[in-house]
Chains A and B, each alone.
Chain A
Amino acid sequence: MNVRVDRSIVGIELMAGEECDAIVSAVLEDVPDASVVSLPGLVQLDVPDRMIIKTSVVIEYLGRDWDSRDLNQVVSAYRGYFTRWDEDQVVLSWDHDDQGDVNDV
């Protein structure tokens, strides 16, 4: 729990479809009780404190290559700060210095 914010939830809202499904599955692997809400055309994915999207896991679910820069194609909104966005991980956190999972690259 990040004490600096009144409500320590991070999340993304994605255009529904294949990439969205793979990203949601990849996050659910880490956070099984993540909140997944479907609206017409989009999916809202929220987790407590921090969200780490691992490129390799998304690729596994998608069954094809995927570039983490392409997250910008499907993410329409977010809550939290993007504190890391490179080829291995995208990290969304309220802790401004959060570098994600540093042991796992």
Chain B
Amino acid sequence: MKPAEQYQRLTHSLHWDPTYVNGDAYIPEEWRTACTMTDWRKFNDPFQILFEDYCRIQAEKEDKFHAVRDAGARFGHIARVDERWVEGMKSLNTGLTYSEYYNYRGHVRVARFAPAPAIRIASMVQAMDERRHAEETIFQARDYAKYHKNGFLLPRDRMAFFERHWYLQGGRSFFEDLITTDPIEAIIGTNLVFETAFTNLLFIAAPAAGVANGDFGFGQAHLTIQSDETRHMALGQAVARTLLQGDERNLEHIQDWVDKWFWRCHRLLQGVVGPALDYFPKNKPVSYKEAFTRYVVEDFIQGYVSELSQFGLKPPRHLDQALAEVEHGSSTMWRSLYASRDALWFDIHQPTVDDLEWLNEKYPLFDRTHGDFWRSVAAGEYVAADTSPMTCDVCHFPCIFPEPANAVALPVDFEGIRYWFCSEGCKWIFERESNKYRRTQEPSALVLADKDPLWVAQFLNITPDGKPLGGTSVPDGYFPAMPVPVTI
């Protein structure tokens, strides 16, 4: 059988329209896309991957990843990974494990509710990819725990941090948002914006930094993860192009989703990947700003968005704000982490002379906005935040941007409650879908006010001096009494 025929069988022949139930029961309104297309069956995924090829290619990728892990254990590479990088992994790897897992859940949902057979199959395959990625990060965590003297986190700690610690709520809220959207929004948000523009910073630039600091397992894992993303990117580009070309009513939705996810991605990546490129690595092959320029500005904006401008698509609404922030945003984040280092489970170091020289070279604004701070730390001034940072009600990162001396905090009153936002971008996102974000009052605002520091430390799953507690311990009075559903 020819590949084209096999592909037809896998997608279109596996699809059927229900006759025993009506359309509303099959795809509830809440999960039905707002986009229109005359015949969704005509949509084709450019990769047209066959299940047989998929299994063969993915198995080879896995073999290569585990070969690198084995070699790392056998020849001692893992023990020699630079300590600063391993501290970075305690945050990045932890966030990533659950982010990938959330994405797996999201794509299973797209596979179920997307209207086009080809999108459903591609999303099912993508769900398997994301699951593989989550598992690779778990294998790596195990390797650090077993072979590196800095140790690592226990699985239960990892989950507690992702669920509760302020630093990872940016990631959690991002993925919870992403997996509860219109199915085509999920494709635009994930495949077009996140994976075409932004994950290259995480899975190409960060592995280069990992390899430069001795972490070959991280390098191999992430380059193979991003090789899966090439399939995802092609799907996102094809969905956007086909819908924009096919029906002009789709432009409004796609533009909105590009605007929204561009800003959400910018916030998440700058907050989490920024430190992983500019601060954790001792050897720094590429700065966050350089990677942002290459992948987001040149490839995404000057490439894909400009190609799609023939159908009316415009550059993301808050692009200028993002460009201005990238000039020193990773440093703003690092400084905030440094101030609250007593409540973190990984080490935040004071930049060395070499680090500062590199930062000044890569970021001309660095000295003006952050130089004095680090000079006073170097002179012995004790800097510690005595409260948890005030966080934004959309992105859940601290309201410290673009830089601490000039931080933005914008209020919106909605149904009797005042919400705060770190930026125009997050405020705009809230105003578009206030009902979605009103439900997500997060730990720092709700819980940490007026609480005893011991209680706060227990909530964050750390001892007062910043060590992981081990296990998930819930302080008295946090969770309101609620009945446990019988199905769990």
Contacts of B60 in A (CB 8 A): 73
If A73-B60, A82-B46, A94-B303 touch, does A39 touch B310 (CB 8 Å cutoff)? no
Decide: B306 and A5 in contact? CB cutoff 8 A: yes
Q: Is B180 in the interface zone, CB < 8 Å from A?
A: no
Select which of B211, B231, B233, B303 is within 8 A of A41 by beta carbon.
B211
How far, in angstroms, from A50 to B83 measured CA to CA in the complex? 43
Nearest-CB residue, chain A, relative to B46: A82
A87 CB to nearest B CB, Å: 9
Nearest-CB residue, chain B, relative to A39: B208
Residues of A within 8 A of B (CB): 4-7, 9, 13, 15, 39-42, 69-70, 72-82, 85, 94, 96
If A41-B208, A42-B208, A70-B57 touch, does A76 touch B226 (CB 8 Å cutoff)? yes
Number of B residues near A (Cβ < 8 Å) is 40
A21 CB to nearest B CB, Å: 16
If A13-B204, A40-B212, A42-B208 touch, does A72 touch B230 (CB 8 Å cutoff)? yes
* Interface residues of chain B: helix, strand, loop or mixed (majority): helix
Contacts of A80 in B (CB 8 A): 303
How far, in angstroms, from A40 to B60 measured CA to CA in the complex? 22
Contacts of B57 in A (CB 8 A): 69-70, 72-73
How far, in angstroms, from A28 to B187 measured CA to CA in the complex? 35
A84 CB to nearest B CB, Å: 10
Contacts of B241 in A (CB 8 A): 96
Q: Is B286 in the interface zone, CB < 8 Å from A?
A: yes
Ranked nearest first, the 7 interchain pairs of A and B with the lowest CB-CB distance are A40-B211, A7-B302, A76-B226, A6-B302, A41-B211, A6-B306, A39-B208
Q: Is B203 in the interface zone, CB < 8 Å from A?
A: yes
Decide: B307 and A75 in contact? CB cutoff 8 A: no
Contacts of B47 in A (CB 8 A): 82, 85
How far, in angstroms, from A42 to B46 measured CA to CA in the complex? 25
Contacts of B211 in A (CB 8 A): 40-41
Q: Is B174 in the interface zone, CB < 8 Å from A?
A: no
B194 CB to nearest A CB, Å: 13
